[in-house]
Amino acid sequence: MAVATLTPLPPKEAIAAFTARGGRLAPTFAWQDAWEADHAQAFTVAKSAGFDILKDIYGALEAALKEGTTFQDFAKNLTPVLQAKGWWGKKAVPDPLTGEIGEAQLGSTRRLTTIFDINMRVSYASGQWAQFERTKKLRPWLRYLHHDSLHPRPLHVARHNMCLRVDDPTWEKWAPPNGFGCHCTLQSLSDRDVERMGGQLKFKPPPDNMRTYVNRRTGEISQVPDGIDPGWGYNPGKAGWQASALADGLADAPPALSAALVEAPTWPTRALASEFGDWFDKAAAGAPVSRSSWTVGAIDQATLDGLNRLGHPPQTGAITISQQAVQHMQRDTKAAGGRSVPVDILRSLPATLAQARAVLYDRQSADPALLYVFDVPGENRLGKLVVRVNFAGKMPKPGGGRMSVVTNDIRTAGLVEARILADPATYDVLSGEIGS
């Protein structure tokens, strides 16, 4: 099996996508346990359940991605670690789903090859998609490229030189990698490139023949196009690039890691704000939304240190907002006749949080609460967001019903005079400065 070729320069977008997945290590027994876009939100390896090896494999892959090391060095350094932990060769292991004990292939050179190859390709695809989105005004086309392999897939070959717009729905399914061992890629093109290449390009995708696939682990039924492996009928690059998917990983990451991620220059604040704005508009209007809450950022390290000092360490670093809170803020804004936090600031909460002038701890609150303070154009007062620390809420769970979650939830927004915030008996400044 061919192995991904790495470039010598660290791919910032690919590293950012992979690092976000590292905040949530999810052991699984079978590859069907984590399905399609689930891989964009967590890092997992089949047959890892019951073995303490995910952190080792993730760390080795992260180092390879950042340093551009080869598969040979990756396998050489990782193999003895996995062998020492008993994750090597064939062994009788219990299936957590059924309790049945059967022989399973754990670590091997071939498995490490697959793990390395797939994770590198998906990470690079995420980085590429970030570039496609950033440059699509100048390079609005994507070209599908099939690369020679020992076992070419006819339906992949048939799509070689397929050329469609970046936003064409075809890419929701046919964006490589399209399966294990798929080495196809996408290339962005400008209008001038397309004109120059002329007859080489095909502007109509071949028709899809769909087949029904039943996930024997979950019972989920999906329609998969012929030529795409089950579990790969989505856009791996886009799923890993989407800022909302990266932000979702903050909930399960240690608070310090969440802080490091959102403070890094590669964190997609602008993209997250754009995606959130679309959700905010629907949530505020009471329209159907795909999720009842949104992760808009994370508590910064200085604020984490302050909360620890005050004896209120957060269980997670993630900051969220619910659809109900959005609707409440919208009503407050209308009731105030425009003398409240402007809607354009509220619908850009990821950027508002990142650009906050200061973060304060409210000493008078019955429950631990933070105030994120920010400037409001044309207003003498400051804007504030009230964030409840370790707020216990409910959210829908897969299969029905609701489950308890603990997060740092934005409850209200409003305007406040700076002199009120300057009272040390009421507020403790944890990061930043209030100013005058």
One digit per residue, the tens of pLDDT, for the chain of length 436 reads: 445 444 444 567 777 777 766 656 778 888 777 777 667 666 888 888 888 899 999 999 988 888 888 899 999 999 999 999 999 999 998 888 888 888 989 999 999 999 999 888 888 888 888 888 888 899 999 999 998 777 899 999 999 999 999 999 999 899 999 998 899 999 999 999 999 998 899 999 999 999 999 988 878 888 899 999 998 988 888 877 677 777 887 887 889 989 998 988 768 787 788 889 889 998 898 888 767 889 999 999 999 999 999 999 999 999 999 999 999 888 876 666 556 889 999 999 999 999 999 999 999 998 999 999 999 988 889 999 999 999 987 654 444 455 567 899 999 999 999 999 999 999 999 999 887 6
Q: What is the pLDDT of residue 403?
A: 56
| Confidence (pLDDT) at 241 | 67
> Which H or E run includes 358?
strand 358-362
Kind of pairing, strands 318-322 and 185-189? unpaired
54-67 and 109-135 helices, crossing angle to 10°? 50
The residue assigned the tokens 């970030």 is 130
Task: Look at residue 400 in the predicted model and tell me its pLDDT.
Answer: 46
How confident is the model at residue 397, as a pLDDT? 46
Length of the chain: 436
Instruction: Answer for the pair 202, 163: CB distance below 8 angstroms, yes or no.
Output: yes
Dihedral pair phi/psi, residue 261, rounded to 5°: -65, -50
**The pairing of beta strand 402-416 with beta strand 293-298:** unpaired
pLDDT at 199: 87
pLDDT at 394: 61
Going by C-alpha positions, the residue among 391, 390, 386, 366 that lies closest to residue 374 is: 386
Cβ count near 420 (within 10 Å): 13
pLDDT the model gives residue 348: 92
CA-CA distances (angstroms) from residue 414 to 83, 323, 342, 346?
57, 17, 9, 10
pLDDT at 9: 42
Closest CA to 276 of 331, 336, 344: 344
Which residues have C-beta within 8 Å of that of residue 431, sequence separation ≥ 6?
Answer: 300, 302, 303, 306, 358, 359
Strand partners, 222: 213
pLDDT confidence of residue 11: 66
Beta carbons within 10 angstroms of residue 160's beta carbon: 15
Q: With contact defined as beta carbons under 8 Å apart, do 177 and 236 qualify? A: yes
Q: Residue 138: is it exposed, middle or buried by C-beta count within 10 angstroms (0-12/13-18/19+)?
A: exposed
Determine if the pTM surpasses 0.75.
Answer: no
